[in-house]
């Protein structure tokens, strides 16, 4: 038995210290390209409701050529808000594929937040009209904030942002984060806000349709984040039938995403577009949708660079882990 081996632990503070938006975007882009080339594998997703009221899931995969193997155990526990906690919980583990030894335990909340925002940014870069000036975001929580941050980085002409909060009331904390980057205000009527928008981002718990399909005007792009479990949705009937649909993974979107509600809708994976294998030219009046269910490879490529940087900079806590 080897007794000199260690396991690296990286908590939330350590991860946030090492994250940078540009590097996360680069890692997420790599994940989509690996997926498009089928050089990275995505294993079947576990996503189960619990008797406690939470939802627990596991996303896992590997990149054999890079010696990258791991999983993210994550879920959503809404009752955490009542005790002052974050409802989303996630932990990432990286393993040595040659031995099965755990290498690193990483707080997954910060990684999930930023890698999903970066994926949304890539979707906007490829699919949205680059002259877009008006955006509506549904939600004011952690993921809505991340999506809006990356949208403002990606679409430099965005000037007007409307947000739809759960109670239709203004959220001063949310507004203060973006007030110096755009004209931001609370939308009282979701349909009216959507009808004025070039870009719509849905980042809610996915409890049901958020607006009327008739509110969408030609040329709008939608990033849809909240449908990540069977039974969840944010889009009303009729939207996907009018749109060009892009997904992160077709099989996963059929199980968990908006695609589960319109299963015959033709779609293309984002990795294919990034590889240039299928040219994407947007007609001015087209409606486009990016159905984002979240790939294990996104978590793993980001976790890998966090692990490498933590080792190089001696960040984190090491504990003995004999084998």
Query: Tell me: the pLDDT tens digits for 148-204?
Result: 999 999 999 999 999 999 999 999 999 999 999 999 999 999 999 999 999 999 999
Predicted confidence at residue 277, as pLDDT, reads 78
Over range 102-117, report the average pLDDT: 96
CA quadruple 291, 11, 49, 253: dihedral, nearest 10 = 20
Average pLDDT over residues 37-66: 95
Q: Average the pLDDT over 128-147 and give the result.
A: 97
> Could you tell me what percent of the chain has a pLDDT over 70?
99
Among residues 12, 59, 72, 232, which one is catalytic?
72
Rg (Cα) of the chain, in Å, rounded? 20
Contact in structure between 116 and 225 (CB atoms under 8 Å): yes
Q: Which helix (H) or strand (E) covers residue 184, if one does?
A: strand 183-186
Q: What does the pLDDT average to over 73-93?
A: 93
Asked if 72 is an active-site residue, the reply is yes
Residues β-bridged to residue 201? 137, 223
pLDDT value, residue 4: 79
SS3 46: strand
Residue 1 pLDDT greater than 60, yes or no: no
Superfamily covering domain 123-294 = NAD(P)-binding Rossmann-like Domain (3.40.50.720)
Under 8 Å between Cβ of 293 and 246: no
pTM of the model: 0.94
What are the tens digits of pLDDT across the range 250-266? Answer: 999 999 999 999 999 99
Contacting residues for 103 by C-beta, under 8 A, at least 6 apart: 7, 8, 94, 95, 96, 307
Delimit the domains of the chain by residue range.
6-111+297-320, 123-294
**6-111+297-320 and 123-294 in the same fold:** no
- Residue 286, class by beta-carbon neighbours within 10 Å (0-12 exposed, 13-18 middle, 19+ buried)? middle
Predicted pLDDT at 3? 67
CB 246 within 8 A of CB 268: yes
Single out the residue of 9, 5, 7 nearest to residue 317, CA to CA: 9
How far apart, in whole angstroms, are the C-alpha atoms of residue 138 and residue 264?
A: 26
- Beta 68-76 vs 88-95: how paired, if at all? antiparallel
Question: What is the mean pLDDT of the segment spanning 209-238?
Answer: 96
The pLDDT of residue 111: 96
pLDDT at residue 323 is higher than 70: yes
Quote the CATH superfamily of domain 6-111+297-320: ornithine cyclodeaminase, domain 1 (3.30.1780.10)
Residue count (the chain): 323
pLDDT band at 102 (very low <50, low <70, confident <90, very high): very high
The answer to whether 210 touches 137, Cβ cutoff 8 Å, is no
């Amino acid at each position: 038995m080897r007794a000199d081996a260690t396991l690296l632990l990286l908590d939330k503070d350590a991860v946030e210290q090492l994250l940078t938006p540009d590097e996360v975007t680069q890692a997420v882009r790599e994940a989509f390209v690996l997926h498009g080339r089928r050089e990275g594998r995505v294993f079947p997703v576990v996503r189960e409701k619990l008797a406690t009221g939470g939802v627990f899931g596991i996303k896992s995969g590997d990149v054999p050529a890079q010696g990258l193997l791991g999983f993210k155990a994550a879920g959503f526990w809404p009752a955490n808000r009542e005790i002052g906690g974050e409802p989303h919980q996630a932990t990432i583990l990286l393993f040595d594929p040659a031995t099965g030894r755990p290498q690193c335990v990483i707080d997954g909340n910060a990684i999930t937040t930023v890698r999903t925002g970066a994926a949304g940014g890539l979707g906007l870069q490829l699919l949205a009209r680059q002259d877009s000036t008006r955006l509506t975001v549904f939600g004011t929580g952690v993921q809505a904030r991340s999506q809006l941050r990356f949208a403002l980085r990606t679409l430099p002409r965005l000037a007007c942002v409307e947000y739809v909060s759960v109670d239709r009331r203004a959220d001063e904390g949310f507004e203060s984060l973006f007030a110096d980057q755009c004209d931001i205000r609370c939308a009282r009527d979701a349909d009216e806000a959507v009808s004025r928008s070039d870009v719509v981002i849905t980042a809610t718990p996915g409890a049901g349709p958020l607006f009327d399909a008739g509110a969408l005007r030609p040329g709008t792009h939608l990033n849809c984040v909240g449908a990540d479990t069977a039974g969840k949705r944010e889009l009303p009937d009729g939207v996907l039938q009018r749109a060009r649909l892009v997904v992160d993974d077709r099989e996963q979107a059929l199980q968990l995403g908006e695609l589960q509600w319109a299963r015959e809708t033709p779609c293309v994976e984002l990795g294919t577009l990034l590889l240039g294998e299928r040219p994407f030219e947007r007609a001015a009046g087209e409606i486009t949708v990016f159905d984002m269910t979240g790939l294990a490879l996104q978590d793993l490529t980001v976790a890998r660079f966090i692990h490498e940087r933590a080792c190089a900079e001696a960040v984190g806590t090491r504990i003995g882990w004999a084998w």
